[in-house]
Structure 1
Amino acid sequence: MSSSDRRTFLLGLGALALGGCGFRPAYGPGGVAGDLRGRVAIDAPDTRNGFALVARLEERLGRAEAPVYRLSYRIALDRESLGITGSQETTRYTVLGELTYQLRALDSGAVVDSGMVTAFSAYSASGTTVATRAAENDAVERLMVMLADQLVTRLVATAGVRAR
């Protein structure tokens, strides 16, 4: 059996195993996360960080056209010194982010999912003041994207539980 035939055979076995266990794409036809796309109204942002977070959430979940759920959130950030020179100058910072959320059903007001996701990002402070500020803003924006992506992953992973 040639190498190409073995790969085709093994890929076929893998697909058969996934099909046999009930695997379905989350956003595919009949997928458990189908009720999220365009159905989650997200609280309006009131800060720059909130705006970046909501923009990414709407990019991933779609803007709510026929909302079934309301997503409330709270962002907490903390900055820690990471790299310090011998003369006690900080050259690198870590930004720690924590996103607490609640997903409520609009019809009943009941909380259907809640929790917290965390992530971190870092930036260099070894340039000019302007460069350091730009690097910090970029690190925080990257952090908002990471937090939004983790939240969407969690919502998709638990969508089947809500649907039951």
Structure 2
Amino acid sequence: MKRLAVLALTLPLALGACGLHPLYAGGGSGEVANALAGIEVGPIDGRGGWLVANALRDRFAGGGAPRYRLDVRLDDEIRGLGVRRDDSVARERRSLRARYQLIDLSTSAVLLDATAGSDAGIDVVGSEYATIAAENTALERLSGIVADQIVGRVALYARNHRAQAAGR
């Protein structure tokens, strides 16, 4: 019991010394949150693009004049994986990949050029309606995952860029 108490008291000190810093320090008024609020999302083609764009706008929660633009190009693909004896597909993989660029609106410079992506498995059943519904559900889920990856990478860039600008 005594060891547990000592560990509980020393663990916060050890974590502070390891160099880890909270990404969203300061909450909604912190540096990273302010940088994310200044990003506008450019139009993205397709249904997946509409889903990703809405997810990004929800996560950025911009409210002022944009300082940056996020351009995203999606690659949405469904491939058959398993084949039954009658040569019909038994399982599909839906892949959603995004290439995105963060652009400074004042200089038109590309600040960040990266990719994000995820996959989902889909069982192909006897009902075509059920298979289409599963494909659509997978796209909705993948759109949120890809948007989270993009926001995380942009937030990390914003934090590192602010730290470099401050001379840390």
* TM more than 0.5: yes
Residues 38 and 66, structure 1, Cα contact 8 Å, conserved in 2: no
Deviations 1:110-130 (A, max 9, x none): 111111112111212113111
State how far apart, in whole Å, the 2-side matches of 1:129 and 1:86 are: 18
- Closer, same or farther: CA 8–84 of 1 in aligned 2, 3 Å: farther
Q: Which moved more, 1:18-27 or 1:63-72?
A: 18-27
Greater shift, 71-80 or 152-161, is seen at 152-161
Supply the RMSD in Å over aligned alpha carbons: 2.0
- Alpha-carbon distance in 2 for matches of 1:11, 1:68: 43
| Residue in structure 1 matched with residue 24 of structure 2 by the alignment | 27
The answer on 1:40 being equivalent to 2:36 is no
Could you tell me which runs of 5 or more consecutive residues in structure 2 were left unpaired when the two chains were aligned: none
Counterpart in 2 of 1:161? 160
Which deviates more from structure 2 when the two are superposed, residues 7-16 or residues 126-135? Answer: 7-16
Q: Percent identity?
A: 30
Shift of 1:20: 2.5
User: How many matched pairs?
Assistant: 161
Equivalent position SS for 2:32: coil
Letter in 2 for 1:7: L
Instruction: Provide the secondary structure at the position in 1 that maps to 2:74.
Output: strand
- 3-state SS of 1:25 partner: coil
1:17: which partner in 2?
Answer: 14
Moved beyond 6 Å, runs of 4+: none
2:75 is aligned with what amino acid? A
Counterpart in the other structure of 1:86:
85
**What SS class does the counterpart of residue 20 from structure 2 fall into?**
coil
TM-score using structure 2 length: 0.84
**More deviation, 32-41/145-154:** 32-41
Distance 1:11 1:70, change over 3 A: farther
Mapped contact 2:48–2:140 kept (Cα < 8 A): yes
- Structure 1 position 64, deviation (Å): 4.5
Q: Given the two structures, how large is their TM-score scaled by the length of structure 1?
A: 0.86
Alpha-carbon distance change, 34 to 18 in structure 1, aligned in 2, over 3 angstroms: farther
CA contact (8 A) 1:41 1:64 kept: no
Distance 1:20 1:146, change over 3 A: same
Q: Secondary structure at the match of 1:36?
A: helix
Deviation at 1:73, TM superposition (A): 0.5
Q: Which has the higher helix share?
A: 2
Paired position in structure 2 for 1:122: 121
Distance (whole Å) between structure 1 residues aligned to residue 53 and residue 44 of structure 2: 7
Aligned counterpart, 2:131: 132
Report the alpha carbon displacement of residue 152 of structure 1 after superposing the two structures with TM.
Answer: 1.2
